[in-house]
Amino acid sequence: MTPSRGLQDTHNRIIRDLRVSITDRCNFRCAYCLPETEEAANFYRSNQTGNKPSNRETKLGYPWKPKSQILSFEEITRIIRVASSLGVNKVRITGGEPLLRRNVESLVADIATLGTVDDLSLTSNGTHFPRLAKRLKDAGLSRITLSLDSLDRENFKKITGRDGLDDVRESIRLAKTLDLTPVKVNAVIIRGLNDHEIEDLAKFAIDEQIVMRMIEFMPLDSGRAWQRDHVVPGAEILQRIKARFSLSALPSQHPAETATRWSLGEGCAEIGIIAPVTQPFCGQCNRIRLTADGNIRTCLFSVHEHDLKPMLRDGSSDDALASMLQGIVLKKEPGHRIDQPGFVQPERSMSCIGG
């Protein structure tokens, strides 16, 4: 297959990064994604402002997609192969929790064997990583990003719905041992829930010699309880860390990088600030997303999706699939509209979209 051009949208952005969700299932119930625990519901009810009803409930019993609608590893690998022929060279495996899917290391190996992906990473909550870490590394995984929203056991459980703090700590240590580096650790900062731990999380980055990335709370929760008041602006997070630690700005590694990076001045410890709400970086976005059920999303906040399953399953050629991808990318939005009039939250939560 010799495509006539790569993946370029009408805003002259060239797509190099594909986020691939392999399951919509997750064993966590995070307050910013699937807030199904009573503690999360109580937090949102007690923090309601404006005209939203005070008895808002979180969405229980999310209907997971049936297996027949989930892409096979062969179908995923085919999409990545075609996307790579169009210039994609960075792939991140996501979920849901991707390590809930059986034999995920075989998918990693298949992608690595393509020889066209320079950066093959995975995002996980860490609960199953210790069991699979060595197999993932041997299969060709380049690095891993882990989620850690609190260093306090009870608060961790409140945010995630699971007593999994020790699992994440073990996963961080193991990732470093296996040289799945740089080890990036994500914390979604929510006012009134874990913003009091900002400085402690920065200190944790120094202690563990990792990249701690603090992310603004985005409207991607299934309970649709997000409010602007819950967002701790990236500038405020940075100001608080600077007040306690000596930071020095690090150069951007790529124009499409989502985080502003800061060295903590001790070894390879870093802080990354990801501020999509208050400091959107849409103008340089080079990403598209593939959902577990085979839909391409051209923006995290897309309200329209493009289903690839019919073409994958009706005998269409790789050339036809490549042309479809090129046509989809041409429709990529100029940016999300969070905080703007007329913003519509996506129907699917982050667990179904893929991070």
List, for residues 208-255, the tens digit of each pLDDT value: 999 999 999 987 666 666 788 899 999 999 999 999 999 999 998 887
Question: Which tokens go with 71?
Answer: 């892409």
What rounded mean pLDDT belongs to the chain? 89
Give the pLDDT of residue 81. Answer: 98
Which of 44-48, 307-311, 329-333 is most confident? 307-311
52-66, 108-122, 295-309: segment of lowest average pLDDT: 52-66
Is 57 contained in some domain?
A: yes
Confidence grade of residue 35 (pLDDT, cut at 50, 70, 90):
low
Is 336 contained in some domain?
A: yes
With a pLDDT cut of 70, the percent of the chain lying above it is 85
290 phi and psi, to 5 degrees?
A: -110, 120
Give the pLDDT of residue 59. Answer: 44
Is 240 contained in some domain?
A: yes
Which of 60-64, 194-198, 300-304 is most confident? 194-198
Number of structural domains the chain divides into: 1
CATH number of the domain at 252, please: 3.20.20.70
Q: How far apart are the first and last CA of the chain?
A: 30
Confidence grade of residue 62 (pLDDT, cut at 50, 70, 90):
low
With a pLDDT cut of 90, the percent of the chain lying above it is 70
Report the predicted TM-score, pTM, of the whole model to 2 decimal places: 0.89
Is 106 contained in some domain?
A: yes
Give the pLDDT of residue 39. Answer: 61
Residues 334-339: contacts with CB under 8 Å, at least 24 apart: 334/11, 334/282, 334/283, 335/280, 335/282, 335/283, 335/285, 335/299, 336/276, 336/280, 336/282, 336/299, 336/300, 336/301, 337/301, 338/218, 338/219, 338/276, 338/277, 338/280, 338/301, 339/228, 339/277, 339/278
- How is 28-67 classified by DSSP, letter by letter? ---TTT---SHHHHHHHHHT--TTS-TT-----S--PPPG
Q: What is the dihedral of CA 169, 173, 178, 181, to 10 degrees?
A: 80
Give the pLDDT of residue 210. Answer: 97
| Domain containing residue 268 | 17-353
Flag whether pLDDT at 274 surpasses 80: yes
Question: Which tokens go with 252?
Answer: 């951007």
Confidence grade of residue 51 (pLDDT, cut at 50, 70, 90):
very low
